[in-house]
Amino acid sequence: MKFMNGLKVAALATAAVLTLAVGAQARTLNMSGEWFQNRGQLVDIPINGGVVYCGFGGVGEPIGIGGCLGNKPGTNATGMAVGQVMFKAAGGGVPGAAAAANVNGGAPASFTVAPHVFAQNAGQQVVALPINLTVQQLATTMIFRAPGTSMSSGLSSMNWQAKFSANAHSNDPGQSARLAKSFRWCPGVGGPNCFPGPGAATGAVAGYNGMIEYKNANPNAFGGTMAMMSASGGYVSLALDKASFGMPTGLSLAMAHQQFGSPANTTIFRPQWMGLGYAATRTNAFPGAPIYNSFSINTPCAANVLPPSPAGCSHVQGQGPQIIFPTIPTPGGGTIMNFPLSIPGDSNINFGFPWTTGTVTAIHTGITAKGAASSETLSAMGYDNRTPAGNGRIVMVSGGVSHRMSSGKNFTAIDAVRMDFTSPVPAMSAPAIGAVVTLMLLAGGYMARRTFAGSQS
């Protein structure tokens, strides 16, 4: 019995030495995962099958498993019963193919991720939003890649690569302006002067009405920066009430197709603002769009049913002529002939924030396209279930807020990335091999000693 106990002790010692040796070395693990991009309560980019329910009242799939955020309540944003209704993309997020990841240290292990591990190019995707009163359908041709590698849009590339470590808020150059691991930030203010007020936040620049809050109770404050690059873009098809343009009521809804991103098939990649850095700022323009006096759809979707049913329902098939107002006299005695009605061009200013295993909350207040009050809170929490050596699952979240400069609309966004790490068969270093040999000799000597002692009894 003592002999067996001796072998157990030797085996445990061997395992401990191996664990320490592996944990202290730079090493390569296999990584796979999924990237979820949420742009407001109902829109996930990429579309990937369209929006579906995934829980009510905070009960749903854990974040990182199926893409459902931990809490996505909305107010007057969907035209349906308000509550903590949560949504996700039916087909998941941008997949992360199995690839090598460089890992260092342990408890927790830091790591980098190879370029373009997360990638998707699904071509055109079109989906109706039957529970949204304004957005008739969303169409995209977007291409996604992450992490990024190249320069674009005048932004520094240092934050594009995936670099994650403990105490990232103070160690990561991409977060140099960050004062603490937990913070509140408002557009134009930032820092400790930003705090919740009526609606969204007090202290924000007038009209912005947005706030980002990061909370991280974990002592290691694990996180980092990594940018999702995207090319091409899409269209949001808006069903508009003609009464809001001063036209007679009782008429059919008007239609406008507002472009976002870049034209289809454009291959210039630019970073999304979530995960890019601390208060990383990007602007993007939205061109004007003509307003048509009517539109037609195929088979209507069932009301308030998700996923949209039947499949492919309520897609826009065509629209009537552009609305042209009659001749309008001017104060000087002239006239404006055949005045076309269009949605004016606009631009977004976007503020993005880094990745964390803590809790991220994004808040905005504002108005809908039909002038109704609208507020929204998106909140999600990451976690780190890896071993000290770095094996296992980690989920990180990042948040952002946007303000549309001319129309004054505000938006919130949350990204989540899930990464699963597994070990290949480890190659032992010379010091580790020496330690194992020493322990084996000790175990052999212990066995001989016990055998000899036993022969004398």
201-238 confidence digits (pLDDT tens): 544 455 677 888 899 888 899 999 998 989 999 999 99
Range with the lowest mean pLDDT among 73-82, 359-368, 408-417? 73-82
Q: Using the predicted structure, report yes or no on whether residue 57 has a pLDDT greater than 60.
A: no
Summarize the confidence of residues 286-301 as an average pLDDT: 93
pLDDT at 76: 33
Q: What is the mean pLDDT of the chain?
A: 76
pLDDT at 262: 76
pLDDT in tens, 381-399: 888 999 999 999 999 999 9
pLDDT in tens, 128-158: 988 777 889 999 999 999 988 754 444 455 5
Task: Tell me how far apart the alpha carbons of residues 127 and 297 are, in angstroms, rounded to a whole number.
Answer: 12
Summarize the confidence of residues 262-285 as an average pLDDT: 82
pLDDT at 448: 43
Q: Using the predicted structure, report yes or no on whether residue 380 has a pLDDT greater than 50.
A: yes
Which positions ≥6 away from 188 have C-beta within 8 Å? 204, 205, 208
Task: Tell me how far apart the alpha carbons of residues 440 and 7 are, in angstroms, rounded to a whole number.
Answer: 9
Q: Using the predicted structure, report yes or no on whether residue 281 has a pLDDT greater than 60.
A: yes
Sequence length of the chain is: 457
pLDDT at 266: 67
Distances (CA, A) of 180 to 153, 176, 213: 28, 10, 12
Summarize the confidence of residues 181-193 as an average pLDDT: 73
Q: Using the predicted structure, report yes or no on whether residue 279 has a pLDDT greater than 80.
A: yes
Give percent of the chain with pLDDT exceeding 90: 28
Q: Using the predicted structure, report yes or no on whether residue 369 has a pLDDT greater than 80.
A: no
User: In the chain, what's the furthest Cα-to-Cα distance?
Assistant: 126
pLDDT in tens, 228-246: 989 999 999 999 988 877 7
| Pair 231, 120: CB distance under 8 Å | no
Summarize the confidence of residues 334-342 as an average pLDDT: 75
- pLDDT band, very low/low/confident/very high, at 89 (cuts 50, 70, 90): confident
Reference 398, options 354, 358, 350; nearest CA is 354
Q: Using the predicted structure, report yes or no on whether residue 327 has a pLDDT greater than 90.
A: no
Residue ranges per structural domain of the chain: 1-25+433-457, 26-428
Task: Tell me how far apart the alpha carbons of residues 100 and 34 are, in angstroms, rounded to a whole number.
Answer: 15
- pLDDT band, very low/low/confident/very high, at 67 (cuts 50, 70, 90): low
- pLDDT band, very low/low/confident/very high, at 63 (cuts 50, 70, 90): low
Amino acid type, 48:
N
Task: Tell me how far apart the alpha carbons of residues 84 and 235 are, in angstroms, rounded to a whole number.
Answer: 28
Give percent of the chain with pLDDT exceeding 70: 68
Range with the lowest mean pLDDT among 47-56, 393-402, 429-438? 429-438
The token duo for 236 is: 């949001």
Strand ranges for 6-121 from DSSP E:
27-39, 51-56, 59-60, 74-75, 85-89, 94-104, 110-113, 118-121
